[in-house]
Structure 1
Amino acid sequence: MKMKRSRDRIGALLAVLAFVAVLGISVKDSMAYFTTYARARGGKELTLGNTTEIEEEYDGQKHIRVANQGNADCYVRVRVFTGSLVELTYSGSGQWAPGDDGYYYYSDVVPAGGMTEELLVSIHASEEIRELGTDFDVIVIQECAPVMYDESGAPYPASDEAVWAQAFEVDTEGGAGNE
């Protein structure tokens, strides 16, 4: 009986020692992972995306222009939202063209530091609103897409081709043109 207990104890001791040995090897690798580090100096400013800003004035109609404040050329589109009792009429530069999605697209590339020509939006409140004398909001939003260039150097919009294709078509040489 003593012999069997001795063997059981030795077997258990060997199992514990094997476990500790395996654990010791793993801990060494883990410690190396957690204690390794690298130092770096210096820095570089990274700008992601284009920066554009709406410039608008109101004198009975909205005078909308979009300034490209980024450091890369871009394409621009604008959409004006208001309630269903207000009618909007667009006019102004021939550079702006309506898309099927409610946006007006500027057909030229807006260079870094440049600005679009003016898009005029006349606002006509319905008789109902005028009788009530209530206020209403007219919201202008703009979006931009970076300009990409194909092999021949022709520009085209870089993002969401399905949306941008409604205002710009890419010709057989890959350039962008106004429909």
Structure 2
Amino acid sequence: MRVLGVDPGLTRCGIGVIDGGPGQAPRAVDVVVVRTPADAELAQRLLQIAERVEEMMDRHRPDTVAIERVFSQHNVRTVMGTAQASGVVALAAARRGIPVAWHTPSEVKAAVSGHGNADKAQVTAMITRLLKLTEAPKPADAADALALALCHLWRSPMQARMAAAKTSAGPSHTALSVPRSRMAR
């Protein structure tokens, strides 16, 4: 499986590609960080991100795209920029028929470091080790993009099994059914 991971942002947008699968060690294929000037028009910044993401998708042909889920921060402006960059990436994937998965920062940190509160240095160190890189990816957005891809590579088989189990269980097993006569009297 080939996964393209994206750490979205307007100033720096990390894009990483990894390969892997059952019984295979994950392997880094490519990683870039798209930088856009803070003083440029928003539309131009989004266009730069879109062009580079599309180039990476077309060159590497990922099976899926993993994007960091935007979470609430104190700075609304930062959240909006991150959400807009995420939308550009999701749209590019949809146009190519590539499935998109969303992962929270804590899911990614837990997947690669074993702890959902790991800091950026810990994530970078683990990505360097797990992907057997000769040097740490820089800036942190590059390591975060690779971490998103790795998180999805490892989590997707489990998520698929859970979805299949839920589907096969049918609607009668999704909630506890208690006869009305047994409810609190």
Larger relative contact order (C-alpha < 8 A, sep ≥ 6)?
A: 2
TM-score > 0.5, shorter chain as reference: no
Name the structure with the higher strand share: 1
Name the structure with the higher helix share: 2
TM-score (structure 2 length as normaliser): 0.25
Q: Which has the larger radius of gyration?
A: 1
